[in-house]
Chain A
Amino acid sequence: MKVIQGLYYSKEHEWVRVDGDKAYVGITDHAQHALGDIVFVELPEVDTEVKKEEVLGVVESVKAASDMFTPISGTVLEVNENLDDSPELLNQEPYENYVAVLSMSDKSELDELMNSEEYIQFCENN
């Protein structure tokens, strides 16, 4: 299982990369592996306001549809439209392919997320 340093991680297996007030949000390698072949991603709409732990999008494998929760509150600035035609990018390069970019409304929420070491431990214990 691949985990990248310098990202924030949620217990729901999402990652956050911070760039100023912007947060890039995606799913982790552990998540893509657990889901299997990803064949469709339902992206949020730009300008949608989401609160931490609300549904941001839906990631669908052959077998099932799984909600993707946002680990952080904010407004959707951008979505990764490459996923419309190539959802398998989330399997191939989960950390290179964000799902959405949020403008964070409360940066202090980042403190509640895990760093890479904590996330590795979390995965080992669950």
Chain B
Amino acid sequence: MSELKRTPLYEEHVKLGAKIVDFAGWEMPIEYSGITDEHITVRTNMGLFDVSHMGEIFITGNEAHFFVQNLVSADIDKLNEHQVVYSFLCYPHGGIVDDLLVYKYTNEKFLLVVNASNADKDFEWILSNKGDYQVLVENASNNYGQVALQGPNAQSFLQTLTDFNLDDIKFFHFKEITVNGVNCIVSRTGYTGEDGFEIYTKSEDVTSIWKVLIEKGGSLGLKPIALGARDTLRFEAALPLYGNEINQDITPLEAGLGYFVKLDTDFIGKESLAKQKAAGLTRKSVGLRMMKKGICRHGYPVCNEFGEEIGVITTGYLLPESEFSVAVALIDVKYANLDSVVFIKIRNRLVEAVVTTKKFMDKKYKK
């Protein structure tokens, strides 16, 4: 067992009274004031997340544009400078290596932001596909810290700490600006369904950014938000999590994320995905809503009326301020129509649920 890693903000989490857990090899906070309170704080005011464990991989060089296009499912030709796109790294068979954000500086420079749990695997994958491309691939994960400021009051608060007019950072765009005098990359992106920003700095600067946001934001009701609420927030906003909704054995099409797969471009996995699309899906990601009390959770089997397994819950929760549990499940397409009745196996009992949309809330993005 290798030693657990810590972000530069570990001591700050301990000081704030966080409960700490092992997350993908990192010692990370799972909750501070409580998942429910943190969740509601982000929806109604704003919250601050330490996401310094995320991986940052820079691709630079003459052929960076072509190299990145070969790796990811997005259409990189359509990406403007200082624009960000959500995309996938796929295996040749169409399964997913990881989901990621692609930041385009210029045709010669890209930043790929990947999941902490996959960062090393992704870096190896990218290197193994380098071939003859004239590019430099740099895993800068240890050099960067990252915090996310999310919620309806995120912009008005962050504006007090920078001279740059934040209205000029549009949805899924980024700028290199100073925040409280520190050089940062700031993008209008996030993982909560709210308006907000992700702020990248050099590792040695992230603590000062965190502290000023906590101190000055605290009087406005800002709270630190840990991984527990990060998961309920992203789930409520129908945003997928690698290891749950997507993995090496689930394609983006099955996960209902075909919008982010541009089959008119060329990338690793494209042929398999085009074939899958032409043949039709055999399973599909759907929303489920339970009809009775109880909570459906990741990994619980989904069955038909005869008790035969037809799929599995990929994420499930009883969300704050909800009466009934909701879930996202990957199930046999035969049962995937809206309002179909299925049964979730909870500790050997079959509990009725109805197929719904996965959008358990309306996203509040500022576009």
| Contact surface of A with B, Cβ cutoff 8 Å | 36-37, 39-40, 42, 58, 60-65, 84
Q: Which of B116-124, B240-248, B291-299 is the contact stretch?
A: B291-299
28 of the cross-chain contacts (CB-CB < 8 Å) are: A36-B19, A36-B31, A36-B34, A36-B35, A37-B34, A37-B35, A37-B36, A37-B37, A39-B36, A39-B295, A39-B318, A40-B293, A40-B295, A42-B347, A58-B347, A60-B295, A60-B318, A61-B35, A62-B35, A62-B36, A62-B228, A62-B320, A63-B30, A63-B31, A63-B35, A63-B228, A64-B297, A84-B293
Q: Does B317 contact A (CB under 8 A)?
A: yes
With CB as the reference atom, state the residue of chain B lying closest to A63.
B228
With CB as the reference atom, state the residue of chain A lying closest to B35.
A62
**0/1 string, B223-243, CB within 8 A of A gives 1:** 000001000100000000000
Distance (Å) between the CB of B274 and the closest chain A CB? 39
* Chain B residues within 8 Å of A64, by CB: 297
Cβ-defined partner of A62 (8 Å) among B293, B294, B317, B347: B317
| Contact surface of B with A, Cβ cutoff 8 Å | 19, 30-31, 34-37, 228, 232, 293-295, 297, 317-318, 320, 347
In the bound complex, how far is the Cα of B317 from the Cα of A37, in angstroms? 13
Distance (Å) between the CB of A28 and the closest chain B CB? 17
With CB as the reference atom, state the residue of chain A lying closest to B31.
A36
In the bound complex, how far is the Cα of B298 from the Cα of A65, in angstroms? 11
* Chain A residues within 8 Å of B297, by CB: 64-65
In the bound complex, how far is the Cα of B232 from the Cα of A36, in angstroms? 14
In the bound complex, how far is the Cα of B206 from the Cα of A77, in angstroms? 56
* Chain A residues within 8 Å of B30, by CB: 63
Tell me if A62 and B318 are in contact (CB < 8 A): yes
In the bound complex, how far is the Cα of B231 from the Cα of A63, in angstroms? 9
In the bound complex, how far is the Cα of B228 from the Cα of A37, in angstroms? 11
In the bound complex, how far is the Cα of B235 from the Cα of A62, in angstroms? 13
Tell me if B295 and A65 are in contact (CB < 8 A): yes
Distance (Å) between the CB of B294 and the closest chain A CB? 7
With CB as the reference atom, state the residue of chain A lying closest to B232.
A62
* Chain A residues within 8 Å of B31, by CB: 36, 63
* Chain B residues within 8 Å of A65, by CB: 295, 297
Distance (Å) between the CB of A54 and the closest chain B CB? 13
In the bound complex, how far is the Cα of B37 from the Cα of A61, in angstroms? 13
Distance (Å) between the CB of A11 and the closest chain B CB? 21
Distance (Å) between the CB of B32 and the closest chain A CB? 11
* Chain A residues within 8 Å of B317, by CB: 62
In the bound complex, how far is the Cα of B30 from the Cα of A37, in angstroms? 12
Cβ-defined partner of B294 (8 Å) among A42, A61, A63: A42
* Chain A residues within 8 Å of B295, by CB: 39-40, 60, 65
In addition to A62-B232, A63-B31, A65-B295, 20 A-B residue pairs with Cβ atoms within 8 Å of each other are A36-B34, A36-B35, A37-B35, A37-B37, A39-B36, A39-B295, A40-B295, A40-B318, A42-B347, A58-B347, A60-B295, A62-B35, A62-B228, A62-B317, A62-B318, A63-B35, A63-B228, A64-B297, A65-B297, A84-B293
With CB as the reference atom, state the residue of chain B lying closest to A33.
B19
* Chain A residues within 8 Å of B34, by CB: 36-37
- Which 9 pairs from chain A and chain B are nearest by CB? A62-B35, A37-B36, A39-B318, A37-B34, A60-B295, A40-B295, A63-B228, A37-B35, A36-B31
With CB as the reference atom, state the residue of chain B lying closest to A61.
B35
Central interface residue in A39, A42, A60, A84, by most chain B CB within 10 Å: A39
With CB as the reference atom, state the residue of chain A lying closest to B300.
A65
